[in-house]
Structures are given as structure tokens and as C-alpha cells.
Amino acid sequence: MNTVVVLMGLLLLSYLGSFLTSGGKGGALRGAGLPSGSEFLTLGVLAGPLVFNAVTRSALETFDPIAYVGIGWLALSSGLEYGNVEGRRVPFGRIFEGILYTLISGAAVAAAVWFVLPYLVKITFADRLLLSGGLGCVCAETTWQAIRWMRVRHRAAGPATDLMSDLAHSDDLVPIAGVALLFALRTPPRAMVHLPPVAWAGATLVVGVFLGILAALLLGRDLRVAESWGTLLGVSLMTIGLAARLDLAAVTAMFALGATIAFTSRHRGDIRAMVGTTERTVLLPTLVLAGARIDPPSIGRLALAIPIAIVARVLSKLLIGYVAQAHRAVRGSGVMLGVGLLSSGGMSVAIGLAFALRFPGIGDVVLATVVASTLVGEIAGPVALKRVLDRAGEVPEQTPEPPQVAAEDDHEGEHDEHAHDEHAHEPTPEGGAS
Amino acid sequence: MSGGGGAPKGVATRLVQLLVLVSVYALLWGATHVARDSHGTLDTIVATGFLLLAGTLASEVLEPLGVPHLTGYLGAGILAGPYVLHLIDHETVENLSQVNTLALALIALQGGAELKLGLLRSVLRSLTYATIVQVSFVMVAMTAVFVGVRPLMPFTSGLTLSAVFGIALLWATLSVTRSPSALLGILQQTRAKGPVATFSLAFILSSDIVVVVLLAAVLSVARPLIEPGTAFSVADTFREVGHELLGSVALGTTLGLVLAIYCRFVGKQLLLVFIALGFGMSEMLRYLRFEALLTFMVAGFVVTNLSNQGEKLLHAIEKAGGVVFVLFFATAGAHLNIPLLKKLWLVTLILAGSRMVVSIVAHRLGSSLADDPPAVKRWGWGSLISQAGLALGVAAVIERSFPTFGPPFRSLSLATVAINEMIGPILFKLALDRTGESSNAPEALRSDDHGHDAAERHAEETSEESPQPVSSETAPL
């Protein structure tokens, strides 16, 4: 298929995604579609070599820069939102708990693959480390998009919803840090200096943090939206490009960039709102590109790692579900809580795609696993989550119309206006949008 | 990036911007030294981000000196480009040209949308005289200059006088081209309003159409002179021009109507629509061999003049404009071939200098004949010096049409355009500042609605020895 046609298709998806974010007057389209965007992953799989082969591998490689930018942008959004739910700070205890749960599920998946895979496939030590680590990273988190979907689609609200939101908004840190380490394990092939892996992983963070500080300095006292887009785009592209040039994890560098901006800029609320409006616009084409890269013949027998990782993920999430029932809000949810935590989405797919771009072969297995895991999570996760929230009495019986809940979405009109008038924002004491 | 309407920035802000600018250069320098090998298309990402950031910062840092933002963008690109610091290599610069497809589409769309019928009517007389005088005067004078300096150009040695004359005609056509992108970039920065801005907008944008026709005609005339034995066919020439012009206008009109309907009934996510148009439509236009600049300009013109959606379209383009102009000119800066400029400096200087003088004289003549307002007579030439993408496009067409002398001809064009690209925006901004048409110009400097600039008014007031306060009618148009 002609690359221009593919590009037009991706733009069309972005266009569609933008409507899913803004949703027109009354947010008619908000909450539409599946929580993890699995339909777009499936669309990619159908278009790719696995089914119709409408998009060849070489055509896909033309879009590698777009894939890098998409992944990076999602990581930026994630970094900006880290530990923050719709303008509310997640308590430190919940952040710690979220990190702990991700460590458990990530470690369980990595360990299962590490120990079981050598019995099934001949694999080198380095590949085994990379594969088990990569699968640990992509199978660790629970996507916050699923919980937001419950809020928007089913108007869920209450302590149990907040708990799930808080945990899901805190669990990106572990996979993000893991990616930086795993990418650094293989010395960048073009590097003229030789450093230990930890130093390369540190360099990944330094690039993001340094450029984040520069961005915060540039955004300065007044936030003019038109200028801020230039700054934000410039800094982001530079971060992604520098990380890619040094063969470091752009996803980690961008997460660090977002987290640094959120930590240091007084306009964090406005910036979150700006980036939040673009999230679906970027996510949908990225999901399609990820789906289209799935090519089982290129994976070979390493595909056996996929069921191992998924089973380990399910079991670890069930365990976490039981542990989390210590919270009164979700007490007595039983197995449903663990199943409800199975949804994975944008960030995991982004990490999987980053692996596929950096380590063809092993990375393709990681990507295929995350796609499979997302599809499994999509089938079981939202249904179970709804049951948990239903049981907690947090889902109203009648849901006539999806409300406009997400604060990050609600700034769009405001920003259009600001862009028009170039009005400076006065920061609120909490750093939110004025 | 910032319009002229923003609040002035203090010394501390400028210092921070300078610090960040230096840091960004240092970071990329460090990265290119840690990983020396090119990373193919992925380097385009870092180059895009870097040029966006460095261009914006350079323009901001240089702003207190009165330098136009475009010059800052160009400067940042030149410094980082393959000929100075080599932070961005040749391959990446070429890859970035794809981004320019989008930039050019937006610039042309904006140009067309700015051309309101009322505006054109108000300057129709000036426009007619300026076009006739500029084209004829520049064509004749620059042909003569080129023939005169041929001993300085090795690629003309051994050619007959008629062949040199043919090449000189092509050079003169190149000299007629102006830069809509530089014009719009400066107008966006200064938010200028007044007779000079109006005249420049109408003249520069309409000159694109003139260049398309002129180039086709001159190519046909020059070919028999350069390649004896080739037949001159008026019918073929105008069939081709007709195909290009009529096709572009027809498609542009259709596109404009579709855009107007979209703006009216949907009006959302115009940026994504622009990106789709910039890449998809440009590809289609290339296939159809239509003129992209003209098509998009006509589309913008149709939206503005045949619907009430012009302001919405312009607002959406301006939102993206900051990023687009920075990238376009910073990339152009990185493209500038400094060693070539050094090599051809004498002939380049003569050709660029004479083009400037000829354009100014032609403007004065045309302006007198049209009885333009004093400000236009005096400063209207400011926008005529810049050359950029359009001139390079014309040079590329000539290179393709005449492979024997095309490459050195194009190199000479590149060097000359480089000078005009650097000097032109400065001169145009100077003109707008001097006439007081820039939004940040002091009230006392603003030209009145009869086009009298500050100096004129001062002279009149002094001669009458009766100082008059500046009336409220002297507000900019």
C-alpha cells in the first residue's frame, strides 16, 4: 500500500481520536469505543502481515519516526499525569502501593518467562534477559484508561473508583524504569564512549530531566498557548530524537521530561490540559501501527513466551487483587478485583512498540505479547471492574449519557480561547489551570 | 513565534532564553559527538525539535536588536547546518524538506486567505503598474547584467552570445520571483497594517501567478537560443501553462469550497485537516503536475472571498503558523550552502546587488506612475528583495530543463537566494518599522490613512511651521 495512503489513514485515525477526546458539544463521543482501544490494535493486526498484508513491513518502517513520536508523546502525557488524577494528587501511600503491585506483577511475569522459556526454546542469556525483562515491563501495569472509561461511560464515582484510579495512575514508574535499564543493557552500537549500563540508564533520565527543566524555564511566568506548543513540541522532539540517536529508551526520557515539567513548572495544570487533549489523537494511530507490526513468522518458537507471560500476569493480578482487598472500599470483591486489574492499554503498547523498534526479533515478541495481553484484558477487565464498582455501589443504575468527567479533557475549549487571545494564565496556588 | 502584540520581555527573560539556546546547542553537539553515525530518518526527529527550539530562541534573543524573527530562524539553521557546526547533516536536511511541503501548503493557504477582494480592488492600480514595470524592468536589466558579468561565470565560457542571452533570460526570470513565505512570516510577526503592508501582500502573492506564466514562456523562448535547432512552439508552451494554471485554479477553487463547507459545518481539528492537505494533496498535485503554491493560494482566496469562513481559517493557520515558519526558515538556513557562497561571492554579490537596485528603481518608477501613497513610494520596495522557496523551485525547474549548464546555474541561484533570503526580511521589517505599520511601532511613527509616513509628516509639519497634533485619523488602517 502506498505510504501516502497509509499516512492518510493514520491522519484519519487521529481525526477520529480527536473527536473521542473532545466529543463535540456535550461530549457525545466520550467513552465511546473500548477502554484500551483494542479495536484499533485489531485494525492494525488485520491490516498487517498477519492477515491482509495491506501494509508491508517496509512500508511500516517508513513510519518508524511517527511511531517514535507517538510513543514519546504518550510517555510525556503519562509523565505529566503521574501521581495525579484529574488535578488531585495521589497520596504517597497509594503511589507506593501502586509501585509495589507493579513490581510484583512485573517480577512474576519476568521470572516465569526466565525460568520456563529455556525448557521450550534455545535462547542466549542476553536474549533471555531482554525478553523476560521486556515482558515483565509490558505486563506489569493496569491502564488508567480503563478506570477513566468506567467514570465516563458508567459514571462511576466513589472511594473504590478513586482507589483504582490512584493505583492505576501510580504504576507506570516501574515499567518505565525497567525499559531504561533494559535498553541500556545493550551498549548503544554507535556510541563513541563506553559506559556501564546503569550509567546509560542514568543518561536516559538526565536527557529527560535536563530538557524538562529547560522547558519549564522557557514556559516561564506567562503561558501563551501558541508559543507553548512550539516549546513543548521542540523539547519533546529533541528528547525523543536524542534518545533514539543514542539508542536509549525514548519512552523513559519522555516520561522523565513530563514528570519534570509537572514537578517544576507552575503551569503544570495547563500543560496537562494541553497534552491531554491530544492523547487520543496520538494513541489511535500508535495502536494501529503497533498492531500492524505483529508478524508471527518473524517471531518463531519464541511465541511460546506469550502464553507464559499472560498466564503469569493473570495469576499475579489475581494475587494483587486479593492483597488489595485490605482496602475497605473494595473488601469482599473476591476474584473480580484481580480480573478487573487485567486491563492494559496505551502505555504498555507504547513500551512494547519501543521494544519492537529497538530490538527487532525479541522486541517483536514483546509487542505481540502486549497486544495479546491487551486483548485478553479487554475481554475480562472492564466487565470485572464494573462488577467490583457495582458491588461497591459506585455505578449508578441508569447511565443515560456519558458525562464530561475527565478534567484533562475539559480544558480544550479554554485553550482554544487562550490560543485566540494569547491571554496569559495566572497560576492557581495548586498549580492547576486558572 | 510571538506576535508583535505580546508584552515586552525583560532582560532576565532574554538571558534565560540565551542560556537555554546555548544549552540546546551544547546538548546536540554532545550527542553528535557521543554517537557520530547518522541514524537515518530518526535524525530528522531530533533535527526538527532542535530547529524548532533553537530557531524560536534565536529569534527571541535577537528581537531586542530589531532583527526579524525570520532572520533568527535562518541564523539558527545556518549555525547548526552541515556547513558550520555540522550538528545536522545533509541527509537530514534533505529529509526535512518533506516537512516543508506542509509548511509551503500552509503558507500558500494563508497567503490566499489574506487576499481579500476589497484589498485587491483598493490597490488594483498600483498592482497593475507594479507588475508591468517590475517584470519588464527586471527582465531587461537583469538580462543585461547577467550578460555583462559572464566572464565571472566559468559555465558560460565557450557558449555563443545567443546561448548566454538565453541563460540570462532564465536568470532574469529567477530575479522576478519574490518570497511569499518571508512576506507572510514578517507580517505575522509584526502584525503590520497599512498601505505598505497591503501593497506588499497583494503584489508579492499575485506575482506567483506571473512567475508561473513567465517561466513557461521564457523556457520556450530560451530553448532555441541555448540549443540551436530546437523549435519554438507557442502552442505547446501555452498548452502546458494553461494545463498548469487552469488545473491549479480549478482544483484550488474546489478545495476552497470544500474547506469553507468544512469550516462552516464542522470547524474542528483544522490542524489535522491541514496536515492531510499538506501531504496528501501536495502528492496528488505533484502527480497531476499542477502548481501546489497556486492551488493552495486559490483555495485560501476562495474561502475568504466566497464564504464567511476566512477568519476562522486564518485563525487556525496562524495557530500552527508559529511552528511552521520556524521550521521552514530554520531548515532553509541549514540548507544554505556557505562554502558555495564563499566561492561565488563576487558574482553573487553583483547579481544580488543589481537585482536589489533594479527592483528598487522599478518600484519607484511603477509607484510614481500609479501615484501611490508616499509611504508606498518610499518603502514599498522593502518586500521585493526576499527570495526563498519559490526561487529555488524555479531554479530546480531550470536545472531539470537544461542539464548541460543546469547544475552550476542552480548553484549560482542558491548562493544569490541565500543573500536575498538573509537581507530581504531585515529590509522589509525595516520598511514596516519606518512607516510605523508594525504593531509595536510607536504611535508617532504610524503612517496615516493616506500613506504618509512619519518622516513625510515631519517634513510637512516643518515646512508649514505649524506643528499639528497627530489626529485620531492617523490610526493604522
pLDDT digit string (tens) for B271-318? 778 878 877 888 888 788 787 888 888 999 999 999 988 888 888 887
Q: Give the integer Cα–Cα distance in Å for B230 and B267.
A: 53
ipTM: 0.82
Does residue A9 carry a pLDDT above 80?
no
CB contact under 8 A, B49 and A235: yes
Compute φ and ψ for A394, nearest 5 degrees.
Answer: -110, 5
Residue B308: count other Cβ atoms within 10 Å of its Cβ: 11
pLDDT: which is higher, B110 or B139: B139
Question: Which residues of B are less than 8 Å from A265 in CB distance?
Answer: none
Burial class (CB in 10 A: 0-12, 13-18, 19+), A260: buried
Rounded to the nearest angstrom, the minimum Cα separation between B329 and chain A is 14
**Across the A/B interface, how many CB contacts are shorter than 8 Å?**
149
Q: Partners of A89 in the beta sheet?
A: A84
Q: Contact A422/B17, CB-based, under 8 Å?
A: no
Model confidence pTM above 0.90: no
With CB atoms and an 8 Å threshold, state whether B46 touches A242.
yes
Distance in Å, alpha carbon of B246 to nearest chain A alpha carbon: 25
Instruction: Output the 3-class SS for A376-393.
Output: HHHHHHHHHHHHHHHHCC
Q: What is the mean pLDDT of residues A97-121?
A: 91
- With vertex at residue B441, the alpha carbon angle to CA B439 and CA B442, rounded to the nearest 5 degrees, is 125
Angle at A284 between CA A282 and CA A287, to 5 degrees: 110
Written as nine digits, the cell of A231 is 516549546
Cα dihedral B174, B179, B181, B183 in deg (nearest 10): 180
Contacts of B49 in chain A (CB under 8 A): 233-241
Confidence of residue B7 (pLDDT cuts 50, 70, 90): low
pLDDT per position as a tens digit, B307-351: 988 888 888 887 777 788 888 888 888 887 788 778 888 999 999
Q: Which residues contact A18 (CB under 8 A, 6 or more apart)?
A: A277, A278, A280, A281, B268, B269, B272
What residue spans of B149-233 are helical by DSSP H? 161-176, 180-190, 195-226
SS3 B145: helix
Q: Quick one: B467 exposed, middle or buried, by C-beta within 10 A (0-12, 13-18, 19+)?
A: exposed
Cβ atoms within 10 Å, residue A307? 12
Asked if the Cβ–Cβ distance from B268 to A19 is below 8 Å, we say yes
List pLDDT tens digits, range A227-244. Answer: 678 888 899 999 998 888
**Position B109 pLDDT exceeds 90:** no
Tell me what pLDDT residue B173 has. 93
More confident residue, B143 or A334: B143
Mean pLDDT of chain B: 82
Model confidence at A18, pLDDT cuts 50, 70, 90, reads low
The pLDDT value recorded for residue A398 is 62
Average the pLDDT over each of A286-290, B73-77, B431-435 and give the range with the smallest value: A286-290
pLDDT band at B378 (very low <50, low <70, confident <90, very high): very high
Rounded to an integer, the average pLDDT of A160-178 is 88
Q: How far B392 CA sits from the closest chain A CA (Å)?
A: 25
Q: Are A168 and A83 in contact (CB under 8 A)?
A: no
Of the listed ranges A19-28, A140-149, A263-272, the least confidently predicted one is A19-28
- Residue A433: the pLDDT is 30
Q: Pull the grid cell for residue B281.
A: 494533496
Residue showing cell 458525562: A403
Residues of B in contact with A22 (CB under 8 A): 268
Contact A345, A374 (CB under 8 A): yes
Query: Hey, are the CB atoms on A11 and B275 less than 8 Å from each other?
Result: yes
Could you tell me what percent of chain A has a pLDDT over 70?
A: 82
pLDDT of residue A4: 65
Average pLDDT over residues A271-286: 82
Comparing A286-290, B26-30, B230-234, the range with the smallest average pLDDT is B230-234
For residue B449, what pLDDT is reported?
A: 47
Q: Answer yes or no: is pLDDT of B475 > 90.
A: no
- Poorest-confidence range of B57-61, B67-71, B371-375? B67-71
A53 pLDDT higher than 60: yes
Q: Do B218 and B246 meet the contact criterion of CB atoms below 8 Å apart?
A: no
Cell representation of residue A384:
470485572
Judge: A18–B23 Cβ closer than 8 Å, yes or no.
Answer: no
